[in-house]
Amino acid sequence: MKHTKIVATISDQRCETQFIEELFKEGMNVARLNTAHITTESALKMIENIRAVSDTIGILVDTKGPEVRTVNIGEPIQVTRKQLVEVSGLLRQSSENRIALSVSYEDFHTEIPEGSKIMIDDGEIELEIIKKEKDYVLCEVENPGIIKNKKSVNTPGFSVQLPPISHKDEEFIEFAAKNNVDFIAHSFVRNKEDVLKVQELLDKFDSPIKIIAKIENLDGVNNIDEILDHAYGIMVARGDLGIEIAAEKIPGIQRLLIKKAVQRKKPVIIATQMLHSMIDNPRPTRAEVNDVATAIYSRVDAIMLSGETAYGQYPVEAVQYMHRIAKEIESGKDKRNDITIPSVENEVAYLAEAAIQASRELRTTAIVTNTLTGRTALYLAAFRGDNPVYAQCYNMRVVRQLSLSYGVRASLIVPKKNRFKMVRSSLKDLLESKKLNGEDTVVYVGGSFGIGGGSTFMEISTADRLTQKVN
């Protein structure tokens, strides 16, 4: 069994239960819904189909976030190198002498400074601002290409003052809250205020949905500590990040963000173009395999597929490859790659670290814990042990929330009032489901003060002996 989780993007064009079941069987843990390409009506059908396959699959709704796009383009515009283009947040028409390009943020031309770069369509076309005018900025085309409608507009090194949540984001956050979605992945998070704005909307609907902050610009990287203070986890979205920041800096930033998240005991997802060639080909390139492997060596919680499963020709095979790569890399873990967790700050963290250490040194089969909120399981995941963590949860939402956490296999269990009955019930459930054998030695982390009282003790014994403690 792999420890690294797989997030797969599902589209409304391909969301039949049979298809979702295939992805699930091959190792998909979380299904991602990209709101840039769906409506709430189609999203509801997707959620129903995912839930029909399994209650344990996490559902992540990915918002569009604050972004700028090209607008008001009928036919694609061909541009040549050194050509002059007027770019504006106002709707303007091209003339015979010069192309006028409109974008979706009305103050764009007033905020962006002279000398800045404008990247269009994920960096396919680069413009340089050579002069500012009242109603537009005059730009020079750096490379030839075709500009199409509704394509991304990035401004590397400069942040325009977009509102943190769009109207469509509000619609989907409300939809997610009303339909028991597990995660909101909010795009283009720049600071803690962006996270708090999403949380305000969720609080309005009394929703326990967890927020994943997508880091895809320089502000997000620079403010990662305050973002991690308020987000449940982060996604390193390398598409826009690779446009905003020089490509050669991305690997180092990726490792830094993973380290920051793991040390804070927060789930971290690596996303964008992991097996991109499998959209059209049955096998990934060697470079892609290495990219996935590097993320796993870096101790990431989850790896994500986008177009590969949303509309690619080989979606199931892409998940299979992800699974195989994860198992292979995890089987040859090198402790020198481990991330040092800062000094233990509370009893739960101390027990988690001790449990992982004991599990390694005593060569136990697994770690078992009961958890009301998932906190103990998150802490155990952060220390990146070699053995699976079986988290016995008291509600299905926590089961699904742990679907993003490294090495955690969560399942639902009936609550017990007595401490020893809780231990016995947890182990019996795992024995009956064949996840453990009676002779398996396990580390059990539990609490003496009932459900919700926090983890306070650790025991090490065989599963049989632990289940026989109370008749």
Q: Among all residues, which ones are annotated catalytic?
A: 32, 69, 214, 272
Cβ contacts of 171 within 8 Å, gap of 6 or more: 40
- Total Cβ atoms within 10 A of residue 12: 17
CB of 276 within 8 A of CB of 305? Answer: no
For residue 22, give the H/E element and its range. Answer: helix 17-26
Per 3-state DSSP, the chain is made up of helix, strand and coil in percentages (nearest 5) of: 40, 25, 40
* Helix runs in 212-331, H state only: 218-222, 224-230, 238-244, 250-263, 286-297, 307-310, 315-331
Nearest to 351 by CA among 467, 260, 454, 442: 454
State the Cα–Cα distance between residues 220 and 236, nearest whole angstrom: 10
**90: three-class secondary structure by DSSP:** coil
DSSP string of 23-76, one letter each residue = HHHHTEEEEEEEGGG--HHHHHHHHHHHHHH-TTSEEEEE---S-EEEES-SSP
- How far CA 32 is from CA of 20, 38, 60, 302, 358, in Å, comes to 12, 12, 5, 12, 36
Task: Say if residue 78 is exposed, middle or buried (CB neighbours under 10 Å; 0-12, 13-18, 19+).
Answer: exposed
Task: Say if residue 29 is exposed, middle or buried (CB neighbours under 10 Å; 0-12, 13-18, 19+).
Answer: buried
